[in-house]
Amino acid sequence: MAETPENLPMVNLDYAQTGRIEGVVLFQGTAPERATLDLSSNPMCERQHKEPVKDETVIVNKNGTLKNVFVYISKGLPRVKWPVPQNPRQLNQSGCVYTPHVVGIMQGQQLEILNSDPVNHNVHAESKVNESWNESQPPKAEHKFKTFGAEEVLFPVTCSVHPWMRAWVGVVNHPYFEVSDKDGAFSMNNVPAGTYTVESVHEKYGKQQGQAVVTAGGTTKVEFKYAN
């Protein structure tokens, strides 16, 4: 994925000519059992949890849908510059677990990284397109702010101190992305009328593509299906 050229014009969005994309990520078959994470190597991590901490790689919701799937428009948008949000996206370390497990962010937008734990962490962005980094973050330290200059979907953020810690970051150069929620749902508002390729990416099950024809004032449904 290439960076957005600086000489592209700024978007001039006519909201009367936009629509909505919404959909769901389904899971077919038997949901895999989620493994219990072993936090015993650091008692300060372990004692922050009243219940066992479960792996978040595959979370099948009660309604048979899949959580934490990154969904975005991969083709069809006009070649323009989209305004970068001033508010950062947050990635917290709490209970020696990254929250949220999957975070989407615009190219050039700040990622605010917090350490709410009483222990030291090493935040390791294992990106391939963007420059990778691995930096220590002391307990309750000042927040780190990072930006990414190129599109990259997805890459892991790990902790060099606690090997069970893992989050995923998706970077795109426009605002049309979402992460499927506890109902497997996602939505994108104010999408310019047009025909688009919508892509879903899951950390284990990989990529799928769907098509969306957006009309002014309309809502287009997109559905993805994954299986174990």
Question: What dihedral do alpha carbons 217, 106, 180, 219 form, nearest 10°?
Answer: 10
The single-letter code of the amino acid at 83 is P
Amino acid of residue 96? C
Q: For residue 207, give Cα distances in angstroms to 61, 81, 100.
A: 19, 26, 20
pLDDT at 141: 83
Give the model's pLDDT for residue 6.
66
Q: pLDDT tens digits, residue range 135-188?
A: 999 998 889 999 999 999 999 999 999 999 999 999 999 999 999 999 999 999
How would residue 228 be classed by pLDDT, with cut points 50, 70 and 90?
confident
Residue carrying the six token digits 């992305």: 177
Q: pTM higher than 0.85 for the full model? A: yes
- Which position has the token pair 């305004």? 83
Q: Which domains does the chain have, with CATH numbers?
A: 15-82+174-228 (2.60.40.10), 85-173 (2.60.40.420)
Strand partners, 9: none
DSSP secondary structure of 146-179: E--SS-EEEEEEEESS-TT-EEEEEEESSS-EEE
Q: Is the peptide bond before 192 cis (omega within 30 degrees of 0)?
A: no
Question: For 19-77, what is each residue's pLDDT tens digit?
Answer: 999 999 999 999 999 999 999 999 999 999 999 999 999 999 999 999 999 999 999 99
Q: Where are the alpha helices (DSSP H) in the chain?
A: 43-46
**Tens-place pLDDT, residues 116-132:** 999 999 999 999 999 99
- Position 214 pLDDT exceeds 90: yes
Contact 97, 194 (CB under 8 A): no
